[in-house]
Structure formats: structure tokens, C-alpha cells
Chain A
Amino acid sequence: MDFFVWKTSKNLQNGLRDPLQIASRPSETVWDQIVATDFFPLDVTDFGPTIKKIQAAKPDMVMSALVGAAHISFYRQWAAAGMTKQIPLASTTFGNGNEHIVTSAAEHNGIVCSYAYFEEVTSPANVDFVKKFKAKYASSTPWVTELAIMTYHGVNLWAAAVTKAGTTDRMKVIQALEGLSITGPAGKTTIDPKTHHAVLDVYVAEAQDKKFKVLESFPQQPPADTAAVCDLVKNPAENKQYVIDVKV
């Protein structure tokens, strides 16, 4: 199988690991070839030539990491060109900007996404949280995104670390954070001492009629990509930025 990769020229938001890693780890499929990767300036609204290019290459799957207002037009033009039934589309950004609220069901049904949280997760903690959240911010919350919930977990982790350390001193809080866990609407989140990344539950879901249908869940996924190259326990002074080779 092979697939196209779409990325934008904007950096991925904090907290999101590389989209390819997220998408490829939970699935059983082994991708053996990336046909092409394209980057788009954020004000591009015409995806016609790109869609023709995909039609010419006939990949088994297209992976989108498009973000921002202008790029939503890709999903519209993809559907308008009749591509939704022909090449499956996966994304690690679709939905986090409420793309599935502003596009129509015909345009987004079937797009597969992977996040550490979906509003539709049925754990009692989440059902309760979403109910309270919507009661408080009903009119301005069409959908609770992963970005919102991971921020909520992040702040709670910091608060737990401050309580544990008994101070807001930066180094002491960081030390308290190592190995610390909290449980929130997205389940248990632990800060991995080796990488300072988080151990999270990860879900794969499909866009369905302005909602997401959770297809599979992968509890407590370690940040394996970064852990393969970075060990802060062994080298506490490490400050190199690793670029993970996604083709492996």
C-alpha cells in the first residue's frame, strides 16, 4: 500500500506528535511506500491541480495534515470531484478545527482520524464531563476537540505537579511531573520520564454526519517514536530536536 501525504507549511500544534506516526502505529497495515508529499501555503484555496495529481498516481490512501480556513476547501473540492468514494482519506488534523461541522455529511463521511480524545468516547468520566462542559459553554461549543481536552489535561497535570512539589519553582515542578499521572475525560495521562512526552489512550474514528464514530481504541500508548531516540533519564541535559524518520 502507498499513500500521499499532505502537510502544511505551518508547524504542527504543540502536543501533536508527527501525524504519520500516530496514524501508522495503531493500524495493522504496514505502509511500504510514500508516493508523494506536498506542502501548501496557508492561503491556497484551489486544490484542483493537486487532486488531478492524486488521480494520476492512484495511491491506496491519502493522508491530510491540512490546517486553517483556506485548506478546508480541499475537502470540498475532493468531494466535488467525486473522490470520496474512490480513495480513502485519513487525517490527523481534520475535526480539530471543526472541519466536520462546517463541511456537509456528504463531504466528510468516511474520513478516518486518529486523536487522543474524541467527544464521542463513551467512558463514564467523559460522558459526565461533556455534559457539564456543554451545559456551561453550550452556544460556543459545537464539538469538544482533542486540543481542548489535552489542554485541560495539561493544566491539570501541572496543578498536580505543583501540589506534589509544594512549589511553583520550574525545575521542581518538572521533576514532580516525571512519571506523574492524572485521570481526566480522555482517560489516564502520564508524563513519560524518558521523553517528557505523554502516555495516552489513542482512538481511531470515522467522521459520520457531523460527529465521529469511534472505530478502535488503543489504550495507554507510549511515545515510542521519541523514546527510540531520546532518553532524558540517561542524558538529563539533552536539548537536541529530533526529526523522526517517518518512512521506517
Chain B
Amino acid sequence: MSLRKIIIITLLGVPAGALLLFGPRRTADVPCDRTIVRYWESWAGVEGRAVQELIDEFNRTVGAQRGVFVQYVSLGSMIHERLLAACAGGDPPDVAGLFAFALPQYAELGALEPLDADLPALGIRPTEFVPALWQIGVYHGRTYGLPSTPFTIAMYYNRRLFRAAGLDPDRPPTTFDELRAFSERLTRTAPDGSLQTVGFLPSPKVLNWWHWCWPFFFGDPLDEQGRYRIDSAAGVRALEWVASYRDRFGAERTQVFEQGLGIVVEGAQNPFMAERVAIIHQGPWMANFIRRYTPDLDYAVAAFPSARPDGSRPVLVCSDLLVLPRGARHPREARLFLGWLMQQPVLERLCKAHGKISPFRTPGPDFFRDHPNPFIQIHHELAASPAAFGYPKMPTWPQIEHDVLTAVNNVWFGLGTPRDEARAAQQRIDAAVAAYERLARMRCLAPVGAADAKASTRAGS
């Protein structure tokens, strides 16, 4: 009994007591004479440190002069829920980072401050930005979000595998036909018939996070009102294209192949880094993973091929957005900070630290120099593509994205034909959109203006 007591006290009591009595307390000291601007973001770790350094600088300089102190809170991937709870509870932060897909929801429900009137005073000139990137934060012609750390999705391909397959590593595929032909040559089969290396697979499992984007590579899946349609010609062709890859390699064989791929994306088991897949559709952070886990990988980056008849190169552009939630406590001070952060030299430091592209048309003189991604200039140039596209700006988008994912998955698993799946998914989408619009009318929200919705969805044109 006494022995047990001693064990309890030493194992639990002593460390716990020590921690309670002598443990660290709050680390940040907030000056009490300043207005505190709450800034919430999803960036943690290295990314969080980069933004914290900038904020420290603001607090030391402009903030100190003007009596403003920015308090950065990193909420990780759960920021979405936290921000919703805070906004719904009437207690939003002064500045927040918002995922681009959520902008239409927030904007339509009046949860964000429109920024257009403030831009001149903040010294922000929209013309200095890459149009496609600036448009990400625009909804129905009004600016609600500012692009903080944008990126474009490109083709990452393995030069070593290209050479091994007798392909010129300096001439990546440019059309979907070439993509197919190259992929065939890059594919290696083991003696037992199983797939060892694959050129390219449109499976949702092989790092294809943007399963909904394929229709853009075949044409335009948006209708006159800027609404995404999976049953459009482009949508059906994209699903048929997905099915054709499955048929070509065999459903059974592709599944066995997928089985061997690490589901874990950020590690050397990543199929691209493990050299199991030669061509992928991915973003600039790939360079961070590669440098960390497989620094010797010989790869390059180019625009993803296209199946559009006019040969234009569709590019998915996206960005985290800086927004000012409506009803925050210190809107004036928040704008002061926003204006400071959006200065080109300041913001580009952040973009560079995060391995992203610059939202500005002409990046600063040393932006590309010693950028962590050696191909960042290509990523940046892609943002200017006339066929650049972003998340379709629909308040029902998250639901649509899930329905499209189900369709792509079902096609990939052979659970349905492309046409049937497109029709079934579109029916669900139509129902969701109709229900939303009926309720929106009831709430007297601004009706969806056809013309400017299209304009703002089609970024950069």
C-alpha cells in the first residue's frame, strides 16, 4: 500500500505539481495601452512562424506608432469551424484567413466587409495584381477578400523516368492525347502483370485533390450564370476520360496499384516522390516535400496538358484570402494592418516563405531568386493564362464538390457509366441549387446577377 502511494506521488503528483507551480505561463505579453487586433489563420508550424515574424515587425513599427497590436492565432485546419462559430456567435476576429471556396457563402450572407471603398486609402491598387488572382476575392463585382498566398496547379513530372522511357525530359506533353501516349510509354509492368510505375492516372487516389477541375481541361463546364455543370459536354467528356484510363489499365490492376501507394501524401511514400507515378497535377508545395524527403528527385514543372480544341492551357488558380468579418470590434485598426500587410515587399516575403507565388503582376526583383520552389516562375506565369480558372463561385459549392467527387469515384470504381453518373450528380446539384435559391429569395438576398457572376467566376478574362 505504501509503495503504491509512493509510486502515485512520484509518477503523477510530483511532475503535475511542478508543472502547475513552476510551469510556463502565457508567453506573449500584450501591451495594455494598445488596441488589440485579432487575426486568425490556418497556418501553423513553419508557415505560422513566417507570418508571426511579419506581425512582430508590424507591432514593433507601425503598430507601435499607431497604438495597434496584432495578435495572431493559428487554428490549423480547423479554422473553418472556429471562424463559423465565432461569426455565428457574433464574436468574429478582426482579420481572418478564409479558404477561397467559402467566400461566396460568407459574402452572400453578409458576413464580410466589402473592401472596394477602402482600397485607395489602404494603398492597394488592384491593377498591380495578377487579374486571375485578384478575382478570387471578388464576388458579384465586389471585393471581399485579398489574395494572401496564391498558387497555381501545374504538371509535375519525373525527368528521370522520362529519360528511362526514351522520352525527352525537356519536352513534356502538351495535349491530353500526348499525355495518354507518354503515360503508356512511362508505364512499367512487373513480370506478374502488375503495374510498377504508371505515367499518369486520373484516379482520385493519386494526388488528384481537384477531381472537379478536369472538365475545365475539355472546355467550359460553366453555364451562362457561372454555375458548374457536371452534365455539360465538358463534364461528361472528363468523366469518360477518367473511365478510359481505368479501362486501359484495367480496373483490377489499377486498384492493386493504388493499394500499394501510400495514402499519406506528405512523405516519401507519396507516389510521385516514390517514383511510382511519373506525372501529377499538383501545387508549388511539392517542392517543399521533395526537398525534405527525396532531395535527389529529378523533376520539372510545366503547364498541365489540355484537351481544349483551341489548345489554350487551363490553369487552376487558388489562394488563401484575407477578409474582414463584419461585426468585428476594431474595423479601423484591422484595415491599418491589412494595408500594411498587402504592401508588395511585405506580402511577397510571406508568399516566399510559404513557397507560394506572388499575387503581383511584376514580382519584386529578388522574388524568384532563392525562392524555395525552383520552378516558381513557371507557376507564376501560369496564373496569367487566359484560361485560368478558380473555384466556381457558388454558395452551394462545397456540396457540389462532394457530389462531383462521388461521381468521379463511382466512374473510377466502375459503379456507373460516365453519362449516368453525370446525370445523377447533376440532379442532386440542381436540387441543391434550386433549394438554395428559393431560400435565398425568402431571405431577400441579392439575386444572382447573371452577367457579373460569369465575369467574376471566369477569372482573369
Bind each other: no
